[in-house]
A = this chain, B = another copy of it.
Amino acid sequence: MPCAWAFAGTQNVAVAASVQRGRALYASHKSLQAIVVNAGNANCVTGEQGIQTDARMAAITAGQLKLEPDAVITASTGVIGVQLSVSKLEAGIPLARAALGLELEAAATAIMTTDLVMKISERTLSNGARVVGVCKGSGMIHPNMATMLAFVLTDAKLEQDVLRKSFVGIVNRTFNAVTVDGDTSTNDMAVVLANGAAGETDSIEALVAIESVMRDLARAIARDGEGATKLLTVKVIGAPTEADALTAAKTVAGSSLFKAAVYGNDPNWGRILAALGRSGVTFEPLKTRVSIQGIHVFAGTPLEFDRQAASLAMRELEVTVVCDLGAGTAVGEAWGCDLTEGYVKINAEYTT
């Protein structure tokens, strides 16, 4: 069925053919019915040939599904700067068509690259409508409009305008609040499709469920960051605005120094203050409070605390930092991971 849909694509200037095409489709306000994704090749900075290959990918898929090509959105992930093989698309897409089913696991697995786990989330609404989402992402993760590939599908009935208007804020509070390495992907894309098959739906309930699914997926990306052993959650409260809170939280979650300290179970809160201080957000260190795993470490001035106990508390699969900027009432949350030798190893040898 034709779907109401919303889309967010990377802000990277070196943008993949698929994101360029998706952006044009989005502006056309046509309805969408299918998503085709390839993994292993990003089809990015591949020039005119890459753009033609991307169009061919949509056309082959449309042929298989008896749709117009413009009802199909493409997405790619993998190595940048290598031409994508048309013959592989011609051979692979019919196989994917033949395997089409209702289970999400196959799709969630097929789009993985350096991901170690598949990422799925689901909610059911009171009218029985389902919201399901899959995504992939592990490296080259730093929010700028959307982070890596994420697809959310629902049979809830949603007005396209309502969906699109809400989507920007939802993306900012979910995928844009994730950082693994500060590198924004060239192929980032988040798409939500709502086909309305479940009939009349409370749109607020549906939007909350969509945000909830996307939050699950965003946290799953951070937890599965390349080389990561831990999920890092940074909550900022007392900020002047929500944008400030998100910026401050992302800066802490993205600090290489603090991420290395998280890996080493080192309650080195000075690095949190240093990251907040360079975030660009206006606040007074004298009014700021910081806790790590619930242990208060700073309140305008260094607090006495048991470093051994704090280090022990950091030996969890999730480390949570709360920063109260004392500069307002807005809150925000961001997710990252620890920085490990594993991240370096994975990325020192990738293409050659």
Give the docked Cα–Cα distance between A339 and B345 (Å).
Answer: 10
A260 at the interface (CB under 8 A from B): yes
Assess A80 versus B271: contact at CB under 8 Å? Given A257-B140, A263-B348, A347-B261. yes
Give the docked Cα–Cα distance between A261 and B276 (Å).
Answer: 29
Count chain A residues whose beta carbon lies closer than 8 angstroms to a beta carbon of B.
73
A7 at the interface (CB under 8 A from B): no
Contact A47 B300 (CB under 8 A): yes
Shortest distance between the CB of A308 and any CB in chain B (Å): 8
A42 at the interface (CB under 8 A from B): yes
Contacts of A139 in B (CB 8 A): 257
Assess A350 versus B266: contact at CB under 8 Å? Given A144-B278, A257-B140, A344-B339. yes
Closest-by-CB residue of B relative to A13 is: B277
Contact partner of A81 (CB less than 8 A), chosen from B275, B302, B350, is: B302
Give the number of times this chain occurs in the complex, counting copies.
2
Closest-by-CB residue of B relative to A49 is: B301
Residue-wise interface mask of A (267-292) relative to B, using a CB-CB cutoff of 8 A (1 in contact, 0 not): 11111011111110111011000000
Give the docked Cα–Cα distance between A167 and B296 (Å).
Answer: 41
Contact A12 B277 (CB under 8 A): yes
Contacts of A278 in B (CB 8 A): 11-13, 142, 144, 183-184
Closest-by-CB residue of B relative to A264 is: B348
Closest-by-CB residue of B relative to A50 is: B301
A311 at the interface (CB under 8 A from B): yes
Contact partner of A341 (CB less than 8 A), chosen from B44, B285, B341, B349, is: B341
Contact B350 A274 (CB under 8 A): no
Assess A182 versus B256: contact at CB under 8 Å? Given A14-B276, A273-B14. yes
Closest-by-CB residue of B relative to A281 is: B13
Closest-by-CB residue of B relative to A345 is: B341
Shortest distance between the CB of A140 and any CB in chain B (Å): 6
Give the docked Cα–Cα distance between A231 and B280 (Å).
Answer: 29
- Of the listed residues A83, A264, A311, the one surrounded by the most CB atoms of chain B closer than 10 A to its CB is A264
Shortest distance between the CB of A79 and any CB in chain B (Å): 6
A185 at the interface (CB under 8 A from B): yes
- A21-52 contacts to B, CB under 8 A, are 42, 44-47, 49
Contact B14 A266 (CB under 8 A): no
Give the docked Cα–Cα distance between A286 and B186 (Å).
Answer: 15
Contact A261 B348 (CB under 8 A): yes
- A132-176 contacts to B, CB under 8 A, are 139-140, 142, 144
Give the docked Cα–Cα distance between A183 and B251 (Å).
Answer: 9
Shortest distance between the CB of A81 and any CB in chain B (Å): 4
A298 at the interface (CB under 8 A from B): yes
Shortest distance between the CB of A145 and any CB in chain B (Å): 11
